Structure 1
Amino acid sequence: MIGKLKGTIDEIGEDYVLVDVHGVGYVAYCGARTLSALGGAGEAVILFIETIVREDMIRLYGFTSAAEREWFKLLQSVQGVGSKVALAVVGTLSAGDLANAVALQDKAMVARAPGVGPKVAQRIVAELKDRAPAFSGAGSEEAFGLKRDIGGGTATAPVADAVSALTNLGYGREQAASAVAAALKEAGEGAASAQLIRLGLKALARDH
């Protein structure tokens, strides 16, 4: 089984890359994000590979990180999700975006992937809720708990309003939730949304 390829790019197609490894060409099927991150022909490349063997074929799928490969495998454990749909999802969303979408139960984010309808997106976030890889850089336990509350609709109105306000200012949902979690810890449970927004912006400014 091939788990990794290190070589030079020979050719890039619409949905694959041909990697030359010491004179042997390997065709690895990749998502849009992976293909766009690769260089041109003749450039060095390292791909993490998932090998799928079936009766009528052996196919290699390539990823720029081990985390993306893990998501690709995990997605296929969801009912109705095969390699094509899984590749479309990881080709649209980064590993961090996927972790965020699952934690927040954000099926709309998953449905951005081509060929993924609302029902499949709902199954993905629901079935992977307790099995998804841990957040990368998601912050403290308080921040993670807050993200889960927001996704489940159990966060208080001031908290939800503050996160919404920060995302409207252009911050990612994960960033916004982490900032509001820090603000909530500083201001206390009864803090109004305006105070949470102000303290959240300070926390974001400190992080940059």
Structure 2
Amino acid sequence: MIAKLKGLLDTVNADGAVIDVNGVGYLVSASTKTLASLGGAGAAVMLHIETHVREDAIQLFGFTSERERDWFRLLQTVQGVGAKVALAILSVLSTDELHAAIANRDKTMVGRASGVGPKLAERIVNELKDKAGGIAGVTIPVGGFAPAAPAGGLASDALSALANLGYKPAEANRVVTAAIEEAGEGADVGTVVRLALKKAAR
């Protein structure tokens, strides 16, 4: 599974870009904000990748940050939001703006995206209001929401591992934060995940 691409920008179109990695061109779909940040042909780029595998195709989605990738994943947990709609939302809202819209239940802001009608926008803000705290680096300033886990690759990888095991973002965030504090500096992902699982089982 491809998790990251580092290479040279070959071409950009309305929906994605081709990244040349040692002579192999990878077609990557991305939000318009991400595409606009890549620079011109020949520029060195690094993208975090989400890989979708279907019976008839393998599709790569690229993001300039882990936080943007995590929002892409989280948006798709809402019924009616697929990859295309998630990218459309991230094309009109930065991760900070999306965070604010969810925190403030601002369905009008979310509804600015192509393909997002009033009902879907309302569903998105309602369903994600308790989940967004599981994204590393996100702190939603509304009473009752869990604080974000420490930003960085360790927290993000541990949160992703727990999400794959079926833990809800808020619960995963709580136990990962506690596990990182207990493990201390220099801990690896495996250690943090094991500690987090023990804490979740208590």
* Residues in 1 aligned to 2:113 and 2:7: alpha-carbon distance in whole angstroms: 29
Give the count of matched residue pairs: 144
* Residues in 2 aligned to 1:62 and 1:133: alpha-carbon distance in whole angstroms: 22
User: 2:142 aligns to what?
Assistant: 145
Per the TM alignment, residue 134 of structure 1 is displaced from its structure 2 partner at its CA by 5.7
Are 1:64 and 2:61 an aligned pair?
no
1:99 touches 1:133 (CA, 8 Å); kept in 2? no
1:163-194, CA deviations, whole angstroms, 9 ceiling, x for partnerless residues?
Answer: xxxxxxxxxxxxxxxxxxxxxxxxxxxxxxxx
User: 2:79 aligns to what?
Assistant: 79
CA RMSD, Structure 1 to Structure 2 (Å): 2.0
TM-score (norm 1): 0.65
User: 2:173 aligns to what?
Assistant: none
1:105-144, CA deviations, whole angstroms, 9 ceiling, x for partnerless residues?
Answer: 1001101111111111111000111011368576xxxx91
- 1:133 partner SS: helix
Could you tell me which runs of 5 or more consecutive residues in structure 2 were left unpaired when the two chains were aligned.
146-202
Quick one: which amino acid aligns to residue 6 of structure 2? K
User: 1:206 aligns to what?
Assistant: none
User: 1:38 aligns to what?
Assistant: 38
Quick one: which amino acid aligns to residue 80 of structure 1? G
2:52 touches 2:58 (CA, 8 Å); kept in 1? yes
TM-score (norm 2): 0.67
CA shift in 2, pair 1:77/1:134, >3 Å: closer
Quick one: which amino acid aligns to residue 105 of structure 2? Q
After superposition, residues 108-119 of structure 1 pair within 5 angstroms as 108-119=108-119
- 1:27 partner SS: strand
1:40-69, CA deviations, whole angstroms, 9 ceiling, x for partnerless residues?
Answer: 000000111000001111000011110010
Quick one: which amino acid aligns to residue 145 of structure 1? V
User: 1:10 aligns to what?
Assistant: 10
* Residues in 1 aligned to 2:134 and 2:64: alpha-carbon distance in whole angstroms: 19
- 1:89 partner SS: helix
- 2:142 partner SS: helix
1:99 touches 1:134 (CA, 8 Å); kept in 2? no
